[in-house]
Structure 1
Amino acid sequence: MVEVFDGAEASVVLERRWPNRFATLGDRFYTPMQPQGLPEPHWVAWSERCAELLGWQGQRDGLLQVLSGNASLPGMQPLASVYSGHQFGVWAGQLGDGRAHLLGELDTPSGPMEIQLKGAGLTPYSRMGDGRAVLRSSIREFLCSEAMAALGVPTTRALCITGSALPVRRETVETAAVVTRVAPSFIRFGHFEHFTHTAEDTEALRQLADFVIAHHYPECATLAQPYAALLEAVARKMAELMAWWQAVGFCHGVMNTDNMSILGLTIDYGPFGFLDAFDPGHVCNHSDHQGRYAYARQPNVGFWNVHALAQGLMPLIDDAEAALAALEPYKTAFPQALTRQMRAKLGLATAHDGDMALIDGLLKCMAADRADFSITFRRLAQFNSAEGASNDVVRDMFLDRPAFDAWAQAYGARLRAEGSVDAERAQRMNRVNPKFVLRNHLAEVAIRAAEQGDFSETHKLLKVLERPYDEQPEHSAYADFPPEWAQSIEVSCSS
């Protein structure tokens, strides 16, 4: 890989420092690894919002070769990290960055950020893979990373996609692409599991935990049991993240422990999906034959994963009671967070004892009639709380009209009881119920165009998804019901 010093790159480098803190951990944690890069790369997409996060706005033209893995900026220290993990509930042993290269950590206006290339070639951890990513999955990851950020969901970010004519074989022959991912850290639950269950290296485990505490959870350092405190802090973050996912109707699809961020971020967008017709048992990953990661099961799997992290930390905590106590807050933090989110989605300004029954009643009606998740909640902002109002705009979402009418009567009474003003409530609800989400068919349309060399739909869709709560009447088609052909779309672990 060639170092770049001149032109636009220099203006980026001279203003930024690369602390590369993860690299200081030593060779037990990673292998120094130069990306293989893409032959004759071209731009596919770029997020100016993510660029602003890095202080790289306006710098795109000077970074094509660097962000395709063909060149390096002074200060970068490319590496691939090692970790292990549970996949679909089964211990998988050593895994690692099989197609990801951490270029380094950059000082930014938003604090230190790690820059990672996904799809830049083989690493020692690629196992039977080729280390590449295809254009199809890269577009999905790029768009969803930025869409989730715009929704307010904790997530890793995506700066850009670069593409190439390089052929990559999956079910068919596709073309290669590289996604540039950004996060304060890409450390996963699996990093801790690795040093407990695979490498059996307690010294390295302690070094990793101390590193994470020092840089990301400093409040834990002064407590009597810092490692138990770390576990509790992560458990709380995971509970909040699960509440976010459930509230926006997001299904992750591969909630393996190696895909869980120690910072409580959404990470590794593979076979994800947003709910169309509401089905609590919806499984978005065609490879998940047992439905382990179905939408309704995500909160319990989140707890299972935190429990696996606890097992990974046990050599440091060395007290089963302390570990169990650290996990306990998840059980209350998740329902509290979800109730808070759902109250907001219903526009409830105060908390009443019967609110969860009201929320559950709506979800049961939606599930029975497979009402569209995003459209139903968005339309609910138009609900007329006056006694006897017909509310056809919401009622039309349901086949079982008497069931909806009974719920609507209870909802209207609840709103009147707190003196809700419909216009004010509508404004609040439209700030938490997105009009636009990355539905599978929208991504598929963008992908099909991109595979023909037309990236304009990807660019347009990104701009729409950056403002998910705004009306955007000129883009109303992106908020419509999915077409019938969308039901045939299958996403799997193949990418």
Structure 2
Amino acid sequence: MKLVARYTQIADDFAVPDFPSVVAAPTLLLWNDVLAQQLNIDVACAERADIFAGNQSNSNIEPVALGYSGHQFGHFSPRLGDGRAHLLGAVTDQEQQLWDIQLKGSGATPFSRGGDGRCAIGPAVREYIMSEAMHALGVPTTRCLAVVASGETVYRQPPQPGAIVTRVASSHIRVGSFQYLATQGDVAGLRALADLAIERHYPEITTSGAERYLAFLAKVVEKQIALVVSWMRVGFIHGVMNTDNTLVSGETIDYGPCAMMNKFDFDTVFSSIDRQGRYAFGHQPNIANWNCARLAESLMPLISSDDEQAVALLSPIINGFAEQFNHAFSQMWAQKLGLDGEQVGDKELVSELLTLLKTHQLDYTNTFNALTQSLQGNSDIPQELTTWSQSWLQRTSADSYFIMSKVNPKLIPRNHIIEDILQDFTRQQHSPILNEYLHALQQPYQSQVKESWTLVPKNELNYQTFCGT
């Protein structure tokens, strides 16, 4: 790999040089050949396990662990950082864009806070499957290049085989990255980080001074809205929307306790550590707004030396989040129902449908797919929606099927199937259904889907996800 260094010039203690810990017997389990080609990564098969376990390097770039802060479930931790991850550097893809290459589960770092720095095989494989599925669904996301078994035991509850996952991201600049520098009062570091984020993600911003960083915040707000709307379009629940898991690029990061919503309910929570439902499916927009407000606080020194003036300039951007989100959210529902244009009564039409979905505990994905296919005579409208559908059909047009078929997937990564695959990997480091399932997940809007992959188990009320750290 031809790697270049990233983040090392931002500030002291921001990108700390640190090498991955050697593992006993690395074995390559998963390799994303398509992504490797896109990123011009040409690593010999025999070397992949060692390189992407962190046992050896084919680059003279020194790995680093990144520092960041984070509001975790609303509680602020000023020093978090990469406690089990090493950024190897960045590669240039075929479009001349830089992409971070990071090992996760590669050993303890100066930010580990007493942890072992390792990752169990289950969470590593989950991140690979979920990130690739989200990419195919059209949701902005980090991706996975490889999963390597470490040949060692990770002591969790219960002890499990260990693994290292290679994450690819357009950057690892988090809201928590700005909080980290702001907490230290490092204005020069804040400016350097903001300029790097603008250069990488928002090069259209060409202004200077306060206007430059106000424009940056506005772009981040726009991207966060687009991201959360994409999540809600496909029924994704992130589960741990802390500020350290919020990228300013607007990409999904950290697939620890994530899950997909089956039966529709805005209050759906699967994460075992989200006991108050802070990150429930329907709360995600408010949390994204809250996280953007924390970014605004961190940017204050770049806006004005007068705090009151800085707040006055930043507040309209944060206060405008709700209106922007509601507009994007309404557009999303219109697309899912194939509504061309906006008419009086559309909001009531959507609201009535969502009430029926919750009341009758209908599956979110299957219901919208059934509505889509009914326009082609390929599916019956669910009986519970027969009366409602009479009003809906009056709002459809010749273009409705085309609109709906692009946004309503036939297939999502179902929680129980993912769990079966993870159990297979924990027992035997492979799963007999993974290749076929991954292939199907990469074509979620296509016509041929196994019926068994669309069924929802009856006992999902007991389903929980765990962060995997």
State the TM-score bracket (shorter-chain normalisation): over 0.9
Pairs within 5 Å for 1:67-466: 67-110=52-95, 111-197=97-183, 199-223=184-208, 225-318=211-304, 319-383=310-374, 393-396=380-383, 398=384, 404-415=385-396, 420-421=397-398, 425-453=400-428, 454-466=430-442
AA matched with 1:323: L
- Secondary structure of 2:52's match? helix
Tell me the alpha carbon deviations over residues 275-323 of structure 1, each in whole angstroms, 9 at most, x when there is no partner: 0111110112111111100111100110000001111111111211111
Shift of 1:49: 2.9
**1:18 to 2:21 alignment:** no
What letter matches 1:450 in structure 2? Answer: F
Tell me whether 1:49 sits opposite 2:49 in the alignment: no
> How far apart, in 2, do the equivalents of 1:223 and 1:336 lie?
30
Judge conservation of contact 2:367–2:382 (CA < 8 Å) in 1: no
Secondary structure in structure 2 of the residue aligned to 1:352: coil
1:70-127 CA-to-partner distances (Å, cap 9, x unmatched) read 1112243210011101010111221000111000011111411110001000001111
SS at match of 2:391: helix
Alignment match, 1:8: none
| Cα shift readout 1:9-52 (whole Å, capped 9, x = no counterpart) | xxxx4xxx423232233533121011114321112212233223
Asked if the contact 1:137/1:270 (under 8 Å) is kept, the reply is yes
Q: 1:445 Cα shift?
A: 1.0
In 1, are the aligned partners of 2:373 and 2:401 still within 8 Å (CA)?
A: yes
Shift of 1:230: 0.8
Q: Which residue of 2 aligns with 1:4?
A: none
Cα pair distance change 1:486/1:61, threshold 3 Å: farther
- Is this contact kept in 2: 1:47–1:158, CA < 8 A? yes
TM value normalised by structure 1: 0.89
The residue that corresponds to 1:481 in the other structure is: 455
- Identical residues among aligned pairs (%): 37
CA distance in 2, matches of 1:354, 1:48: 48
Hey, what's the Cα distance between the residues in 1 that align with 2:326 and 2:91? 36
The letter of the residue matching 2:256 is G
Mapped contact 1:21–1:105 kept (Cα < 8 A): yes
Q: 1:240 is paired with a residue of what secondary structure?
A: helix
- Report deviation, 1:346: 0.9
Q: What is the distance in 1 between the residues matched to 2:348 and 2:74?
A: 32
Q: Kindly report structure 1 stretches of 4+ aligned residues shifted beyond 6 Å.
A: none
* Aligned counterpart, 2:307: none
Q: Answer whether contact 1:449 1:457 (CA < 8 A) is retained.
A: no
Find the aligned partners of 1:395 and 1:484 in 2 and give their Cα distance. Answer: 18
Aligned length: 461
List runs of 5+ in structure 2 lacking aligned partners: 305-309
Measure, in 1, the Cα distance between the counterparts of 2:43 and 2:405. 32
Structure 1: runs of 5 or more not aligned? 1-12, 399-403
Provide TM-score, normalisation by structure 2: 0.93
Distance in 2 separating the partners of 1:305 and 1:36: 33
CA distance in 2, matches of 1:159, 1:320: 41
8 Å CA contact retained: 1:47, 1:159: yes
Q: What CA RMSD, in Å, does the superposition of the two structures yield over aligned residues?
A: 2.0
Greater Cα shift, 327-336 or 258-267: 327-336
C-alpha distance in structure 1 between counterparts of 2:67 and 2:412, whole Å: 34
How far is 1:446 from its partner? 0.6
Deviation at 1:485, TM superposition (A): 4.4
Secondary structure in structure 2 of the residue aligned to 1:63:
helix
Q: Which deviates the most, 51-60 or 428-437?
A: 51-60
Q: Equivalent residue for 1:467?
A: 443
- Contact 1:139–1:458 (8 Å) recurs in 2: no
